[in-house]
Amino acid sequence: MKIKLILITLMLSLVFGVSCFATGSDPLVAADVYIGPGGDILYVKTGGEVMVESGGSLDIESGGAFEIAGVAVTSSAAELNKMNGVTATASELNTVDVTAGTLTASKAVVVDAASNIDAFEVVGTLQAGDVTLYGDITNATSNLGIVNITSTGTISTTRGVTGGTAAQVGGIVHVAVAASTAVSATTTETIFDNSLWQAAADELTVGTVIRYTFWGIVTADNSSDTLAIELYIGGISGTPICVIAASDVAANDIFKGSAIVTIRTIGSSGTFVATNRNMVPAATGFATTDGVIASTAVNTEGTLDFVVSAVWSSTNAGNSCRIDGVIVEIKGF
């Protein structure tokens, strides 16, 4: 046994370049490296070191163990090699020490097995695909509050009812914030300059609903001259969807019109249906007319202008009208 240990210490001397033999007569006790009682533990004295030179290796065979302060390192070589190239600090690595599904300050966001997270606060802009919310969208003081949500998809709500029918949240896409320029003394059909809302090419999809409402006033009128007003889809060369027929108006008469359009099919040969209500100009009260438009062709692949126009029966300078309000709402599926 001693011969074997002497050979080991001699090999250590040759391989590691340490002083392996003490000045005493016992070859099992070395100055820097020595073998303890029983002959099964090799010690490096305090302050000493074991160095593997370039090209060498320290191989712990299967069944052996590498320990630090008596604690075995159980990671495999492959597992340790995963740290190769990692430059993160301990603090940075600890950011992923979280409970999945629970949001923790200054930590990484890790969803649970159902891909859920319990809370989320965004300061700035959030860009996302499909987002399913099971609670409220809040700011510091109230639900929603001053929050802008822009989505290329749809936003739906069950209005707090678990299992309720998801109702799509609509949005106002156009508001006339000022009165239009007056349409005066012209027998040429003229678009009110605050009435345009343009649907982008391919913006309208099957099931899209557009609600367009407008109202205005006759500011001046000459004798028995008449005024006609129309709401169009596709510009004034397109399809009228709300028509206030030519009528004898008077100064300060008010008028109003609205239409609800539903897109049934899309493409260059798409179709829509609509219902409308128009109110013939009058000083007080309205003569209301309701109507429907059966399936009508529309090209959704191009831009679509929704506009309101007016035309007088005479070019008399005493004829004038304007639109005071326009609201366009859209809900897309």
300 shares its domain with 185? yes
Report d(CA 228, CA 321) in Å as an integer. 11
The parent domain of residue 52 ranges over 2-81
| pLDDT at 311 (0 to 100) | 98
Is residue 90 included in any domain, yes or no?
no
Give the torsion sign (CA, 201, 206, 207, 212): positive
Number of domains forming the structure of the chain: 2
180 shares its domain with 308? yes
Give the torsion sign (CA, 16, 22, 26, 28): negative
77 shares its domain with 181? no
Is residue 96 included in any domain, yes or no?
no
Is residue 298 included in any domain, yes or no?
yes
| pLDDT at 18 (0 to 100) | 47
Could you read off the pLDDT tens digit of each residue along the chain, which spans 333 residues? 343 444 455 455 544 444 444 444 444 444 567 777 766 777 777 777 778 888 888 888 888 888 888 888 888 888 888 888 888 898 888 888 888 888 888 888 888 888 787 776 766 666 666 666 666 665 554 444 445 566 666 677 665 666 666 666 667 889 999 999 999 999 999 999 999 999 999 989 899 999 999 999 999 999 999 999 999 999 999 999 999 999 999 999 999 999 999 999 999 999 999 999 998 888 766 678 899 999 999 999 999 999 999 999 999 999 999 999 999 998 865
| pLDDT at 268 (0 to 100) | 96
Query: Of 44, 59, 81, which residue constitutes the final position of a domain?
Result: 81
Query: What CATH number should be reported for the domain holding residue 284?
Result: 2.60.120
| pLDDT at 227 (0 to 100) | 96
68 shares its domain with 192? no
Side-chain half-sphere exposure of 310, counting CA atoms within 13 A? 32
Is residue 134 included in any domain, yes or no?
no
Report d(CA 162, CA 165) in Å as an integer. 9
pTM assigned to the model: 0.58
325 shares its domain with 180? yes
Query: Of 39, 65, 81, which residue constitutes the final position of a domain?
Result: 81
184 shares its domain with 286? yes
| pLDDT at 147 (0 to 100) | 53
Report d(CA 221, CA 62) in Å as an integer. 103
184 shares its domain with 300? yes
Is residue 199 included in any domain, yes or no?
yes
DSSP string, 77-127: HHHHHTTTT----HHHHGGG---TT---TTS-----TTS--S----SS---
Report d(CA 122, CA 83) in Å as an integer. 32
Is residue 128 included in any domain, yes or no?
no
Is residue 267 included in any domain, yes or no?
yes
| pLDDT at 124 (0 to 100) | 66
322 shares its domain with 200? yes
Query: Of 61, 81, 101, which residue constitutes the final position of a domain?
Result: 81
Is residue 180 included in any domain, yes or no?
yes
179 shares its domain with 327? yes
326 shares its domain with 194? yes
Report d(CA 278, CA 215) in Å as an integer. 10
| pLDDT at 30 (0 to 100) | 46
